[in-house]
Amino acid sequence: MNEALRNIWTQARGKWAGLPARSRRNLLIAAAALLVALLVVVFAATRPHYVTIMEGLDDKSLGQVQQELDTLKIPNEIQGTAVLVPARDADEARIQLSMAGLPQSGYDAYSGITTSLGETQDQFNLQVLNALQQSLSTTISDINGVQSAQVHIVMPEQQLFVSQPTTDAKASVFVDLGPGVQLSAAQVYGIQQLVAHSVQGLTVGNVTVVDQYGNVLSSDVAQNGSSSTVGAASSELAMREKLENDLQQTLISGLQQIVGAQNAVVVVHANVTFNQTETTTHTLINAPGSSTGFITSQEVQKSQSTSGAPGGAAGQAGSNPNLNSTYAATGGGATNTTSSNTITNYAYSYQNQQTTADPMQVLGYSVGVLLNSNDKSITPAVQAQIRNFVLSVLGSTPSQGKNVVSVSAVPFTNSLQTVPAAPGGRTWVYALGGLLLAALVVVGYLVFRRRRHPSGEVIEIPAGETFEQPLEELPLTQEEVLRNQLTHLAQHRPEDFASLLRTWLSE
């Protein structure tokens, strides 16, 4: 075994000695790069994977948590406002920090209030007020989007005389919002309500909310003076969002059955109004079985007229049943005419109906559908079918206007987007893999050059390039060795050289 290893070592040394200086240098560089890559891979693989156990902490809480973890001999890292520990120690760290009461809330509420024998009532009230301000500040900081908050309360002064005007309690709230966070009117009003209901004699209108940029967030609410406007606006917005979300989910569920998952994007906008209207209807009702109303009274009007010259004895000439008149002729044919006219009065029954419109009336929808043009099965005919499907789902109502539907096909990007890894993620694996691949490429390139330029070929040396090793160290070919021997023989032993030449010529 030792002899075999010795032979292998001897052959390797021989091959190494036969390599040109440049090749040996390149191989050393490639070996060093490969070794460094392997060391980095081993270091990254053996390094513990860190996970986040707490985030959103202030500087004081970060220091307390880090100090406790150092005491527990648990490795930790601080990244921004988050605390990271190795994954194997995450559960233990959470338990130990919870038992230690960390992170602390920053205040101890009313337990920090102390009393002394010489303390005045004003001093005691000041302690209570400070505890209340700290408690409200911490509570407001727990609202999503609010990083920190400060509450300042001004209590009214006690008046000695009743005739003096009294002042109301006032408060100001400073909120430090997170990046891109914007509190809605309902959230601002909720902060005002929280502070106002915590202080006796404090009204919502006397609570001012200001952000870190100096913007007064409570101006609109203070001008309105009530929560009706804020509550109504918040309710209307929630109703419209729910309508749009429900319709969007319905359309997406249907389109997934047509074009497949992740091949359709739907955006819905509902044009709604919240103008509540009331309508009163006055309906007349006829008598049963009749096209007229009920008869309330009848009046008969009669009239009599005489026409022609008098003459002859009076007598009854005849009667007209329609006119209810009697004709009498006397002397030369004078005529008496009697007529009657009946006037009937009708009365109608009526019904008043009052209708109140819905609080939200849909005037129409605007729907945009984006389809993945990378899917060759989505043809223009399929797009037309999808448009008809969307129109049928939207439907129509008497108050609803015309719906607008837009269907477009655009190429979608790859759904497997690169997601930024969380702190302590495994993105280093890809970087190390790329480094190792680069080292292998360098080694392959050197081997390829070695095969393209064997030791028996003459390598052209660029002009001006210098080498530390002389050219004699390069291995010589058989022709070069034979030529050098003949030259040496001709210079030092000319008789032998001439004899050798005669021998060659004779052959």
Residue type at position 81? T
Mean pLDDT of 65-91: 90
* Portion of the chain with pLDDT greater than 70, in percent: 72
How confident is the model at residue 234, as a pLDDT? Answer: 60
Give the DSSP letter string of 312-337: S-----EEETTTTEEE---BTT-EEE
| Number of neighbours of residue 292 by Cβ within 10 angstroms | 11
Q: Which two tokens stand for residue 28?
A: 């050393």
**73 has a pLDDT exceeding 80:** yes
How confident is the model at residue 325, as a pLDDT? Answer: 45
How confident is the model at residue 192, as a pLDDT? Answer: 92
Mean predicted lDDT score pLDDT of the chain: 75
> Where residue 145 falls among pLDDT bands split at 50, 70, 90?
confident
Give the residue among 495, 454, 446 at the shortest CA–CA distance from 474.
454
Distances in Å between the Cα of 102 and the Cα atoms of 14, 54, 58, 394 are 68, 10, 12, 54
Strands ordered across the beta sheet of 169-177: 146-154, 169-177, 202-211
**441 has a pLDDT exceeding 60:** yes
Q: What CA–CA distance (Å, rounded) separates 171 from 208?
A: 6
**322 has a pLDDT exceeding 50:** no
Q: Say which residue, 477 or 457, is predicted with more confidence.
A: 477
Mean pLDDT of 110-134: 79
**472 has a pLDDT exceeding 60:** no
Residue type at position 385? Q
**350 has a pLDDT exceeding 60:** yes
How confident is the model at residue 210, as a pLDDT? Answer: 93
Q: Which residues of 78-110 are buried (b: 16+ CB within 10 A; e: fewer)?
A: eeeebbbbbeebbeebeebbeeeebbeeeeeee
Give the DSSP letter string of 218-257: THHHHHH-SSHHHHHHHHHHHHHHHHHHHHHHHHHHHHHH
> Where residue 341 falls among pLDDT bands split at 50, 70, 90?
confident
Q: Which residues of 247-259 are buried (b: 16+ CB within 10 A; e: fewer)?
A: beeebeebbeeeb
Q: Which two tokens stand for residue 24?
A: 């040996």
How confident is the model at residue 448, as a pLDDT? Answer: 62
> Where residue 428 falls among pLDDT bands split at 50, 70, 90?
low
Which helix or strand (DSSP H or E) is residue 15 part of?
helix 2-18
Among 154-163, 173-182, 188-197, whose mean pLDDT is lowest?
154-163
Which helix or strand (DSSP H or E) is residue 363 part of?
strand 361-372
Helix, strand, coil % in the chain, rounded to nearest 5? 40, 25, 35
How confident is the model at residue 318, as a pLDDT? Answer: 45
Q: Which two tokens stand for residue 345?
A: 């009065």
How confident is the model at residue 351, as a pLDDT? Answer: 77
Distances in Å between the Cα of 470 and the Cα atoms of 26, 133, 247, 473 are 18, 86, 84, 6
User: In whole angstroms, how large is the CA radius of gyration of the chain?
Assistant: 53
> Where residue 156 falls among pLDDT bands split at 50, 70, 90?
confident
| Number of neighbours of residue 187 by Cβ within 10 angstroms | 19
Q: Let me know: does 133 contact 106? Beta carbons within 8 Å.
A: no
How confident is the model at residue 236, as a pLDDT? Answer: 73
**116 has a pLDDT exceeding 50:** yes
> Where residue 1 falls among pLDDT bands split at 50, 70, 90?
low
Q: Let me know: does 166 contact 159? Beta carbons within 8 Å.
A: yes
278 three-class SS: strand
CA 12 from chain centre, in angstroms, equals 63
Task: Print the SS3 string covering 120-132.
Answer: CHHHHHHHHHHHH
Quick: pLDDT tens for 270-283: 888 877 677 788 77
Q: Tell me the pTM.
A: 0.36
Q: Say which residue, 429 or 335, is predicted with more confidence.
A: 335
Q: What CA–CA distance (Å, rounded) separates 174 from 216?
A: 10
How confident is the model at residue 402, as a pLDDT? Answer: 80
Q: What CA–CA distance (Å, rounded) separates 50 from 217?
A: 40
**499 has a pLDDT exceeding 80:** no
| Number of neighbours of residue 464 by Cβ within 10 angstroms | 5
| Number of neighbours of residue 416 by Cβ within 10 angstroms | 6
Q: Say which residue, 201 or 483, is predicted with more confidence.
A: 201
Among 325-339, 447-461, 493-507, whose mean pLDDT is lowest?
447-461
How confident is the model at residue 432, as a pLDDT? Answer: 62
Mean pLDDT of 326-346: 66
